[in-house]
Amino acid sequence: MSQLWSPNVRELTPYVPGEQPREKLIKLNTNENPYPPAPGVERVLREFSADHLRRYPDPTSSALREALAQALGTTSANVFAGNGSDEVLALAFQAFFRQDKPLAMPDISYSFYPVYCRMYDIDSQRFALDDQWRVDLDALASDSGGVIFANPNAPTGHGHGREAIAALLDKVTDRVVLVDEAYVDFGGESAVPLVERYPNLLVTGTFSKSRSLAGLRLGYAVGSPELIEGLTRVKDSFNSYPVDALASAIGIAALEDGDYFEATRQAVITTRERTRQRLDDLGFEVLPSQTNFVLASHPKHDAAQLFVGLRERGILVRHFNTETLRDHLRISIGTDDEMDSLIEVLSDLCR
């Protein structure tokens, strides 16, 4: 704590991401994709001329937004691009959620949301999940300064269908509803087609998970031109060039390869279902998942101890030491081989 910091910064509790270890571990803790990015990405890296970097990138990322619009079935006027979806979320909090009323969110969701609330001085009202650990959309519809949730949700894995999101939007019309679709490509149903009907809907997405580009930092939002303009106003008051020229070229190459995208996301889904079955065989309770992770607990074994045991045997998963989650492990879906190693160690630890 330093007196040199702005008062507001002294009050912050920053987000703590999953560990990026130096030693070689089987890394199932940050929901990264186990497969490399599309082959076209390698090609861009080989052929990109360093001379391009002399100049500033396109401040509006128009080529990337075009490619995104095409992939998502919308138009580029409805698309905003940023330096990872975390950055897009930060801009959205600033642009839309600094209201007199608190922001409505689930009590269990992406733990970055409360961090942004602190950062931007936004009160939040947190609503419990329902008895099956699904986001309670009816509760989120109550009076607020805005609504945010991940769909599918993290770290629970459940996703609501488009009709349910539309029903929420029929009730909430005068404030922004932000649906964070970081995991939607692993079995969720996207709300992007609703953007045309609901000018207060903002959908965010990322290249970090289903496009295997967490290290690149690319994210986006889809919404009405009114919302995109709001984001752009904040962006241009903060950093006019968030997406660099190389990231933009790589993002476009990743979006172009639809077959590779399809094959890798299907592989993750298949491995997830196989993993769920095998965890179930070991006595774990595993929530259904439409994401690239599962949330599991064992009635006879302490999650924190399993976490340590796995770590000692070279496997890193995520354990959240909070009241609601401390009995659970969040396990990212790796390759079949990696998940075989996980199951082998867990069978040992649960003996």
Interacting residues with ligand PLP (CB under 6 A): 31, 84-86, 110, 150, 154, 180, 182, 206, 208, 214, 219
The total number of residues shown for the chain amounts to: 351
Local structure of residue 302 (DSSP, 8 states): -
Task: Report the DSSP beta bridge partners of residue 81.
Answer: 220
Of 220 and 345, CB closest to ligand PLP: 220
> What is the C-alpha separation between 79 and 67, in angstroms, rounded?
10
Going by C-alpha positions, the residue among 197, 128, 190, 132 that lies closest to residue 164 is 190
Q: How far is the CB of 123 from ligand PLP (least distance, A)?
A: 21
Residue whose CB is less far from ligand PLP, 159 or 301: 159
Asked if 199 contacts 224 with a C-beta cutoff of 8 angstroms, the reply is yes
CA distance 155 to 158: 9
Q: How far is the CB of 330 from ligand PLP (least distance, A)?
A: 10
In whole angstroms, the minimum distance from the beta carbon of 203 to ligand PLP comes to 12
Residue 108: both structure tokens together: 């269990």
Cβ at position 294, least distance to ligand PLP in Å: 14
CB of 145 to ligand PLP, least distance (A): 20
Identity of the residue, 84 or 346, whose beta carbon is nearer to ligand PLP in the bound complex: 84
Nearest to 108 by CA among 142, 140, 156, 145: 156
φ and ψ of 205, to 5 deg: -150, 170
CA-wise closest residue to 251 among 88, 96, 40: 40
CB 180, min distance to ligand PLP, A: 5
**Omega before 14 cis (within 30°)?**
no
- Distance CA(294)–CA(296), nearest Å, equals 6
> Which of 284/293 has CB closer to ligand PLP?
293
Task: Indicate the residue among 31 and 275 with the shorter CB distance to ligand PLP.
Answer: 31
Q: Name the token pair of 130.
A: 């329902």
274 touches 268 (CB < 8 A):
no
CB closer to ligand PLP, 212 vs 224: 212
Question: In sequence order, what are the residues at sequence separation of 6 or more whose Cβ sits closer than 8 angstroms to the Cβ of residue 315?
Answer: 25, 26, 28, 341, 342, 345
Q: Are 155 and 28 in contact (CB under 8 A)?
A: no
Please say which residue, 86 or 185, places its beta carbon nearer to ligand PLP: 86
To the nearest whole angstrom, how small is the minimum distance from the Cβ of residue 292 to ligand PLP?
Answer: 10
Nearer to ligand PLP (CB atom), residue 206 or residue 212: 206
What does R_g of the chain's alpha carbons equal in angstroms? 20
**Shortest CB 224 distance to ligand PLP, Å:** 21
